[in-house]
Structure 1
């Protein structure tokens, strides 16, 4: 069996080509300290043979949650009526590729990451939106061109060991649904009843 991530990559590229509004976004679900699910939408920067690549703040609560390897990603591309679910291992790193990717981002994105590093960490409480905007504005005026990538910027690699691909069939609801599991011998495929 070939790597199902080749199929996920193909579907991701199809969604991008047709300008699907969800092409670059996935729902990442982790478990908090009490075992409750925490879902949020993140931006996927790239899909490769190894998995999904995203950029995150190392100060985010999701970092500790991802370290437990209890996560799931849901991709849904409504224009194609396709969804993919992935589970597996997470790896977080800060390397030269992280810095290069960060420098290629729009200034607003770099400013937000700099604020997380120098001001307030992601998900921390703040008195009001006005305080947030004032602090970010002050940082923007003081920071210049934002070429120094903060150490808190990290690359997240979500490397699946389980992939489920669902191709929707609106007419008869008999969706094509397949699950792929990574074993010592490679990937195995199982057709599922929709």
Structure 2
């Protein structure tokens, strides 16, 4: 039997700490952030969408006991509920539009050509440096939010080498702490595809993005 969904008990305190760090980063970008929780069997998946990146961020955690759960809650309230290896599920909130359309659970296949993590971090650093240089070169009369947004869209819509993965997805992965160095015994990052989605998977979390951009495809709500 599955346990009543009031308190989720994670496999250990480290799982809870990693999840809390993820929630904290989401709140850094949006203090009113919501997350969708899906639990099945012994695993919990937490989905969030940091503003401006136009991607979905996914953090998974192992559960100490089997639970079935699907709800959208306040990221801040969920973070405040973390205590030791347990967290209380806050009351459900009206989910933002993105929470109704999630990547598929299965059918993912690995794609070749993803650079190593250090190469991805370098690509993000180069893009950030380019943005700053172009921003500083703008005449005073053109130094507007609209012009800066235009430059940002141009840079972050570029793809990482020939992978088809937009640089904004790699930027999001680094900003959320997903591109940390890993021991040799831990699998490296991988690029996966399923339907109209691409997914950058790392040992610390995943970033999912639709190939034509969020909102550009008609999909069945999850």
For normalisation by structure 1, the TM-score amounts to 0.29
Structure in which a larger fraction of residues adopt strand: 1
For normalisation by structure 2, the TM-score amounts to 0.27
